[in-house]
C-alpha cells in the first residue's frame, strides 16, 4: 500500500454549533465513502497522536495555546464570529495537528509514499495568536515545522488549493525561505489576503506565491495555473517534501464558494502535485483536509484524490489530453509572472 489515511472518531466530536457549515457530517460522509471496497482495499489507516504543548508553540504563542487548552470541557466558547469550540474541540485540534506528525513519520520511514490526513477542525486560517475561519491550530504550518525541526528537511513546499486564502500559513513563513507557500484562492473573498503582491519579506522574499482568481474559475483555469506557475516554481525550488492544504470548497456545488471545479479537475491537480513529489522528493506527499461544505462534493473529491494517488484515475483520456494541451488566458497569470520573474525566471517561459 502506497497510501495511508489518518482518521479518528475524535474528529467527528468537534462541534462548533448547530447549523455551522464546518459540521461533523463533513467527515461522516467522507469516512462512509472510505469504507466502500473500491477504496477501503487500497488504503492503510493510521491513528493520530496528540501534539504536545511545545510542538504547538512552534507556530502559536504559548498564551494562545493556553487559551484553546482552556476550552476543553466547556460547552461553548466563541473565539471569533465564525469559530467556536465544544467540550472535545481541544482534543480534536491537538490530534488534527498530531495527525500531520504521524503521517510525516510514516512517509519518512518509507512505510507509505502518500498520506491524506482527514481531520477536523481545519487549520490554514489560524494565526500565531488568533483563531479564524473555523480554524484553531494551523495543521499544515505545524506539519512544515515538524518536517524542518524533526525530520531534517531543508525545503518544504506547501500547496494550498482551498477556495479561501490560507492567511495563517502564509504569515507563518512570510520571512522564511525554508517554506515555499503557493496558493490559489477566490479573490476578493474571505479573509481578504492573498494579493499577487504579497510575496514574502526578508529572507522569504519570493517564497510566497499567490494566484488570486475571480469567481467562476473551473477545471481549465486551475489546470492552467498549476501547469504554468506551480510546476516551474516547484521544480526550481526542489522541495524535500510537499504538503497540500486540500480544501474542496472549490467544488462547483459548494454553498460557500463561487468556483466551478469538478472532481475530475481535483484529480488533475492531485496528479500534478503527485508528479512533482515524484520528481523532486521521492514521492513524499502529505495532504490535509481544509474546507469543503458540500457533503457530496467532499465525498466525490476526496475519492477522486485517493483514486489518483493509488493509480486508478477517474480522469477520462480525452479530458486528460484537454488538460495537458489547454492554456486558459488569465489576466492574473501575467501579473504573477511580472512580480515573480526576478525570483523564479522559469515562470516567464
Q: Hey, which residues does 132 pair with through a beta bridge?
A: 135
Long-range pairs for 260-263: beta carbons < 8 A, 24 or more residues apart = 260/216, 260/217, 260/218, 260/219, 261/217, 261/218, 261/219, 261/222, 262/218, 262/219, 263/297, 263/300, 263/301, 263/303, 263/304, 263/314
Nearest to 299 by CA among 339, 321, 266: 266
Q: Quick check: 82 and 132 in contact, CB under 8 A? A: yes
Catalytic one of 14, 60, 124, 125:
125
Q: State how far the Cα of 330 lies from the Cα of 224, in Å rounded to an integer.
A: 9
Q: State how far the Cα of 206 lies from the Cα of 297, in Å rounded to an integer.
A: 34
Q: Quick check: 203 and 176 in contact, CB under 8 A? A: yes
Cα atoms in the Cβ-side hemisphere of radius 13 Å centred on 240: 14
125 among known catalytic residues: yes
Q: State how far the Cα of 152 lies from the Cα of 156, in Å rounded to an integer.
A: 11
Q: State how far the Cα of 229 lies from the Cα of 346, in Å rounded to an integer.
A: 9
Q: State how far the Cα of 13 lies from the Cα of 11, in Å rounded to an integer.
A: 5
Residues annotated as catalytic (active site), given as ranges: 125
Amino acid at each position: 500500500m502506497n497510501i495511508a489515511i489518518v482518521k479518528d472518531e475524535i474528529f467527528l466530536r468537534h462541534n462548533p454549533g448547530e447549523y455551522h457549515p464546518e459540521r461533523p457530517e463533513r467527515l461522516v460522509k467522507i469516512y462512509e465513502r472510505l469504507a466502500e471496497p473500491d477504496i477501503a482495499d487500497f488504503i492503510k489507516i493510521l491513528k493520530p497522536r496528540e501534539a504536545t504543548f511545545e510542538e504547538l508553540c512552534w507556530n502559536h504563542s504559548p498564551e494562545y495555546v493556553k487559551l484553546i487548552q482552556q476550552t476543553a470541557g466547556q460547552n461553548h466558547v466563541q473565539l471569533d464570529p465564525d469559530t467556536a469550540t465544544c467540550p472535545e474541540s481541544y482534543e480534536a485540534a491537538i490530534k488534527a495537528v498530531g495527525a500531520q506528525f504521524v503521517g510525516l513519520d510514516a512517509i519518512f520511514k518509507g512505510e507509505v509514499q502518500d498520506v491524506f490526513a482527514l481531520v477536523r477542525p481545519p487549520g490554514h486560517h489560524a494565526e500565531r495568536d488568533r483563531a479564524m475561519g473555523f480554524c484553531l491550530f494551523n495543521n499544515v504550518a505545524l506539519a512544515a515545522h515538524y518536517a524542518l525541526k524533526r525530520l531534517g528537511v531543508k525545503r518544504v513546499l506547501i500547496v494550498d488549493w482551498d477556495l479561501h486564502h490560507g492567511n495563517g500559513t502564509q504569515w507563518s513563513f512570510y520571512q522564511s525561505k525554508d517554506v515555499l507557500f503557493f496558493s490559489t484562492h477566490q479573490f476578493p473573498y474571505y479573509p481578504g489576503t492573498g494579493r499577487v503582491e504579497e510575496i514574502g519579506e526578508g529572507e522569504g522574499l519570493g517564497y510566497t506565491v499567490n494566484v488570486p482568481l475571480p469567481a467562476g474559475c473551473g477545471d481549465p483555469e486551475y489546470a492552467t495555473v498549476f501547469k504554468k506557475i506551480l510546476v516551474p516554481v516547484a521544480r526550481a525550488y526542489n522541495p524535500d517534501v510537499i504538503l497540500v492544504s486540500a480544501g474542496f470548497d472549490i467544488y462547483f456545488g459548494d454553498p460557500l464558494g463561487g468556483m466551478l471545479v469538478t472532481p475530475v479537475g481535483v484529480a488533475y491537480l492531485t496528479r500534478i502535485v503527485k508528479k512533482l513529489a515524484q520528481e523532486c522528493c521521492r514521492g513524499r506527499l502529505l495532504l490535509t483536509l481544509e474546507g469543503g461544505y458540500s457533503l457530496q462534493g467532499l465525498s466525490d473529491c476526496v475519492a477522486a484524490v485517493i483514486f489518483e494517488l493509488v493509480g486508478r484515475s477517474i480522469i477520462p483520456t480525452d479530458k486528460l489530453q484537454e488538460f495537458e494541451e489547454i492554456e486558459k488566458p488569465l489576466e492574473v497569470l501575467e501579473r504573477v509572472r511580472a512580480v515573480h520573474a526576478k525570483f523564479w525566471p522559469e515562470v516567464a517561459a
